[in-house]
Amino acid sequence: MAVCIAVIAKENYPLYIRSVPTEDELKFHYMVHTSLDVVDEKVSALGKALVDQRELYLGLLYPTEDHKVYGYVTNSKVKFVMVVDSSNTALRDNEIRSMFRKLHNSYTDVMCNPFYNPGDRIQSRAFDNMVTSMMIQVC
């Protein structure tokens, strides 16, 4: 389903990034990096919005020819970026939203793990498995 999933820390360095092995990894890293500016822009615009519009899910950040990039920012300013193949038109906004929800739940579990140091790279196997399941669901 997703071709690349990344978790970016408050200070904008990657905590976790994984992409499908069949494609060029560097390209995805580049796309995620580019998306951070859009995330910043969206967050600062959202700050002024009404309460019910201040959602954690940011929606589509930007589309490219082959991919779509979606974003999500938690209250602790940790960013989740997901790159989806744009040929997959069956994927609706609601599904993306629920995928981010799952990702956030999993991230919270990692944060609450006493053996995890906040700010370190995520090496949790449970988190890894969850990401894998999101990547292979449809494709």
76 sits near other proteins (criterion: CB under 8 A): yes
Closer to other proteins at the Cβ: 90 or 112? 112
Closer to other proteins at the Cβ: 49 or 138? 49
Among 77, 133, 138, 139, binds other proteins (CB under 8 A): 77
Q: How far is the CB of 24 from other proteins (least distance, A)?
A: 33
25 sits near other proteins (criterion: CB under 8 A): no
The secondary structure of residue 53, as a DSSP letter, is: G
| Displacement of CA 97 from its chain's centroid (Å) | 10
Q: How far is the CB of 84 from other proteins (least distance, A)?
A: 23
- Of residues 46 through 65, those in contact with other proteins by CB under 8 A are 46-47, 51-52, 54-56
Q: How far is the CB of 100 from other proteins (least distance, A)?
A: 12
Q: Which two tokens stand for residue 67?
A: 């991919």
Closer to other proteins at the Cβ: 13 or 26? 13
Give strand ranges (E) for the chain: 2-8, 14-19, 57-63, 67-73, 79-85
Q: What is the DSSP string of 23-51?
A: S-HHHHHHHHHHHHHHHHHHHHHHTTS-G
26 sits near other proteins (criterion: CB under 8 A): no
* Strands, sheet with 67-73, edge to edge from the N-terminal-most edge strand: 14-19, 2-8, 79-85, 67-73, 57-63
